[in-house]
Amino acid sequence: MQQGSGFLSQRQRRLAWLGFLLAAIQAPVAAKLVDDSSWLFSLVVALMVATVIIADDGVRRTAQARSSD
């Protein structure tokens, strides 16, 4: 894969993965510790970050397919 073919830079991509992992880990921990449903916010944030990572993968694959033709 080309490094600059997606809309996220390599640093932004690493930070997105880190944010996704932290939010995904925090959601079940908060669900155990907190009585209300505020842990759902962490779950929503993790899903939004995952959507951005998946969209960046799609752009990178499209750019790679175009460059290989």
12 in a structural domain: yes
68 in a structural domain: no
Quick one: pLDDT at residue 68?
84
pLDDT tens for 2-17 read 456 889 999 999 999 9
Q: Fill in the DSSP letter of residue 1.
A: -
Structural domains of the chain, count: 1
1 in a structural domain: no
35 in a structural domain: yes
Which two tokens mark 19? 């944010």
Quick one: pLDDT at residue 67?
86
Going by C-beta distance under 8 Å and a sequence separation of 6 or more, which residues neighbour residue 17?
A: 53
What is d(CA 58, CA 65) in angstroms, rounded to the nearest whole number? 11
Quick one: pLDDT at residue 3?
57
19 in a structural domain: yes
Quick one: pLDDT at residue 44?
95
What is d(CA 22, CA 48) in angstroms, rounded to the nearest whole number? 13
Report which of 25, 28, 17 is spatially closest to residue 50, judged by C-alpha positions: 17
pLDDT tens for 18-68 read 999 999 999 999 999 999 999 999 999 999 999 999 999 999 999 888 888
